[in-house]
Amino acid sequence: MTIRGGAGPRDERTQARPAEPGTYDEYRPRRDPWEPPRRRRPSGNGGAGGVIRFLVFTLILAGIVLLGTITVLRPLVGGAVLDWAYKNPGSFDIALVAGLIREDLGPLLTDPASDDPSDVEFAVLEGDTIGSLSRRLVEAGLIKDARAFLFLATQRELLPELQAGNFALRRNMTPDEVITGLIENRIVITVVPVTFRESLRIEQMTALLQIQSDPVTIDPQAFYDLATNPPAELLAEYPWLAQVGRPDGATLEGYLGAATYQITKSTTAEDLIRMMLDRFAQSVGPERMQVPESRGMTFHQIVTLASIVEREAVLDDERPLIAGVFQNRLSAGGSTSLLGADPTVFYGLDTAALRDTPFEDWRDFFFWDPPGVNLQDVTLPEDLAGYNSYQVRGLPPGPICTPSLASIEAALAPATAEGYLFFLAVPDGGGAHVFAKTQAEHDENRRTYGYL
Res 121: pLDDT:
85
Mean pLDDT, the chain, rounded, equals 84
The one-letter code for the residue type at 83 is: D
> Quick one: what percent of the chain has pLDDT higher than 70?
81
What pTM value is reported for the model?
Answer: 0.65
| Residue 42: predicted pLDDT | 42
Predicted confidence (pLDDT) at residue 32 exceeds the cutoff of 80:
no
Q: What is the pLDDT of residues 321-380, one digit of tens each?
A: 999 999 999 998 766 789 999 999 999 999 999 999 999 999 999 999 999 999 999 999
Per domain, the residue ranges of the chain are 104-186, 192-288, 293-448
How far CA 77 is from CA of 69, 72, 74, 97, 148, in Å, comes to 10, 10, 5, 11, 20
- pLDDT for 56 equals 57
Helix boundaries (H) for 114-172:
130-139, 146-155
- Under the banding of pLDDT at 50, 70 and 90, the label for residue 35 is very low
- Per-residue confidence at 20, pLDDT binned at 50, 70, 90? very low
Residue 245 phi, psi dihedral angles, 5° rounding: 95, 15
Residue 307 contacts residue 400 (beta carbons within 8 Å): yes
Using the predicted structure, report yes or no on whether residue 145 has a pLDDT greater than 70: yes
pLDDT, mean of residues 176-195: 86
The whole-number pLDDT of residue 155 equals 86
Report strand pairing: 259-263 vs 422-425: unpaired
pLDDT of residue 6: 42
Ranges of beta strands (E only) in 184-258 are 186-187, 192-196
DSSP letter for 301, please: H
pLDDT computed for residue 48 by the predictor: 60
pLDDT tens column, 203-244: 999 999 999 876 678 999 999 999 999 999 999 999 999 999
Per the CB < 8 A criterion, the answer to whether 178 and 169 are in contact is yes
Half-sphere exposure of 420 (CA within 13 A, CB side): 20
* Higher per-residue confidence, 356 vs 32: 356
Which is nearest to 389 in space by CA: 370, 407, 403, 375?
375
Share of the chain above pLDDT 90, in %: 59
**Helix intervals (H) in 7-123:** 46-87, 95-105
CB 380, CB 288: distance < 8 Å: no
pLDDT band at 189 (very low <50, low <70, confident <90, very high): low
pLDDT of residue 98: 79
Apex CA 196: angle with CA 191 and CA 199, to 5°?
175
Question: How far is it, in rounded angstroms, from Cα 437 to Cα 319?
Answer: 17
Tens of pLDDT along 271-311? 999 999 999 999 999 999 999 999 999 999 999 999 999 99
Q: State yes or no: pLDDT of 58 exceeds 80.
A: no
Right CATH for 104-186 from 3.30.1490.480, 3.40.50.10490, 3.30.450.40, 3.40.50.300: 3.30.1490.480
Contact criterion met (CB below 8 Å) for 246 and 266: no
User: How high is the pLDDT of residue 28?
Assistant: 42
- What is the CA angle 299-313-422, rounded to 5? 90
Q: Which burial class, exposed, middle or buried, applies to 82 when counting CB atoms under 10 A from its CB (0-12, 13-18, 19+)?
A: middle
225 contacts: CB under 8 Å, gap ≥ 6: none
Higher pLDDT: 68 or 137? It is: 137
pLDDT of residue 53: 59
User: What's the pLDDT score for residue 241?
Assistant: 96
Cα-Cα end-to-end distance for the chain: 120
pLDDT-derived band of residue 75, with 50, 70 and 90 as boundaries?
A: low
Which of 88-97, 259-268, 355-364, 423-432 is least confident? 88-97
Cβ neighbours, 10 Å, residue 190: 11
Residue 293's φ and ψ, nearest 5 degrees, are: -60, -30
Confidence of residue 5 (pLDDT cuts 50, 70, 90): very low
> Is the predicted pLDDT of residue 3 greater than 90, yes or no?
no
Confidence of residue 172 (pLDDT cuts 50, 70, 90): very high
